[in-house]
Chains A and B, each alone.
Chain A
């Protein structure tokens, strides 16, 4: 099973709303990621969790707040977003995280977020 699931598939929210994106994997992977992708562009890394600890925050605005409750789950809490935050948000996981080894990342289907 190489599946990463994400909910919801689509989300429309106002700039004053609070919402959460959820990601789950059952491959026993110990690294999980959030990416943001604009149309026809490559994914941009936002956060990396390794063994449930935040390893990388790519200077993401605080209106995005990640959470890793356990090794299978990853959340992204959203608050006071701007219209320019509208994008496809992708979750990924890999066996581990580091500069060596084939830690191929498996991506979920994404959540299409629209901020009004």
Chain B
């Protein structure tokens, strides 16, 4: 079935770059998304990438897509303490149109 997997935890120092990785099984997903969830809050859409793109950059965020390996990554440059949150990658199921979420990666930023 359709599946999205992420590592569960990442710890970085403030000012370093963070790279959060995601793999997915549905090769027909046309759009892939990154959401951020801070404690006690809803999900904030950070960015998305269309499946025919390799890279998308938006200020401190860079999304890389390797369609052959079904691998997606989110790079956060100059990571700040305010970036501490859970990051979910998600793909749209080509069969159902539903968002399929990964388990979420908790990013801890140490001062």
Instruction: Using CB atoms and an 8 Å cutoff, list the residues of chain A in contact with chain B.
Output: 4, 6, 40-43, 45, 48, 56, 90, 92, 97-110, 112
A101 to B97 alpha-carbon distance, docked (Å):
10
Interface residues on B, range: 20 to 34
A4 to B33 alpha-carbon distance, docked (Å):
18
Would A45 and B99 count as touching, CB distance under 8 A? Answer: yes
Would B92 and A103 count as touching, CB distance under 8 A? Answer: yes
Instruction: Using CB atoms and an 8 Å cutoff, list the residues of chain B in contact with chain A.
Output: 30-31, 33, 35, 40-45, 48, 50, 86, 88, 92-99, 101-104, 106
With A107-B42, A109-B41 already in contact, the answer to whether A43 and B93 are too (CB < 8 A) is no
Among candidates B33, B43, B92, residue contacting A99 with C-beta atoms closer than 8 Å: B92
Would A105 and B45 count as touching, CB distance under 8 A? Answer: yes
A107 to B104 alpha-carbon distance, docked (Å):
16
Residue of A nearest to B104 (CB): A42
Neighbouring B residues of A40 by C-beta, 8 Å: 86, 104, 106
Neighbouring A residues of B43 by C-beta, 8 Å: 43, 90, 92, 107
